Amino acid sequence: MRKTHVLDFLKELSSNNSKDWMDANRDWYEEVKESLLEDVAEILAALSISQPFFSELRPKDCIFRQNRDVRFSANKQPYKTNMAAYFSVGGKKSVGPGYYLHLQPGASFVGGGIYMPDAATLKKIRQEIDYSGKELERILHQSEFHAYFGDMEGEQLKTSPRDYAMDHPYIRYLKYKSFIVSRPITDQDISSGSHVGLAVTAFEKMRSFHEFLERAIAAPEDDASLL
């Protein structure tokens, strides 16, 4: 199957991360990119059944560029050694919550939530946790959800955020700076093509988590200063 070439390509790219190699293998890259676009189209079609706004996205709106921005990085390798797609209003350029598919030999996963939101967005999420922390806790600790994804992930503050006391009943959630859940997928899942169905299943299972974050961001901002 063509999808087996995705991991083969990424393994070779990891060992030969140069423009010369990419130029010599441009046709192979275009092949695996087209394969990813087909996967993304299939995922979008499935998500659109229950979340119609996904029907407005084109697959190319969701996949990330292979080129790395090396201007401010010590790592000067020109290409990413993974391929990925982000499913959200606005596609990959969205600053809001979404679903994420990451393909990388030995390190693939599906995830969702929001990664390192800006100060205004983070403030809104924390405000929603302050108001509705019990709901978030119920989502994260629902038995099927927790068995599937485990604990919420993301960088955390070492102390309480401004305006929230350390004895706040939901301080463990308020400390987060990213709000993410994820589940690994295997190389075999990708080689067989079953990763598409697994992604759709995972994204549907995390829908309540996604909707909590969406509601938080849509809420009007209060008058407090940014955190």
Residue type, 220: P
pLDDT tens digits, residue range 102-113? Answer: 999 999 999 999
pLDDT tens digits, residue range 187-224? Answer: 999 999 999 999 999 999 999 999 999 999 987 766 44
pTM of the model: 0.91
- CA atoms of 186 and 106, how far apart (whole Å): 7
* pLDDT mean across residues, the chain: 92
Helices then strands (H, E): number in the chain? 10, 4
Q: What is the pLDDT of residue 74?
A: 79
Choose the weakest-confidence range: 62-66, 72-76, 136-140, 164-168. Answer: 72-76
Q: What is the pLDDT of residue 2?
A: 45
- CA atoms of 184 and 224, how far apart (whole Å): 39
- CA atoms of 137 and 15, how far apart (whole Å): 43
pLDDT at 226 over 80: no
- Structural domains in the chain, CATH included, are 4-218 (3.30.930)
Local confidence band at 95 (pLDDT 50, 70, 90 cut-offs): confident
Tokens of 187: 């190389």
CA angle 96, 97, 98 (to 5 degrees): 120
How large is the average pLDDT for residues 19-43?
96
The region that residue 190 occupies, defined by phi over 0 for left and psi between -120 and 50 for alpha, beta otherwise, is: alpha
pLDDT tens digits, residue range 114-123? Answer: 999 999 999 9
Local confidence band at 72 (pLDDT 50, 70, 90 cut-offs): confident
* Dihedral over Cα of 185, 22, 43, 205: its sign: positive
More confident site: 74 or 191: 191
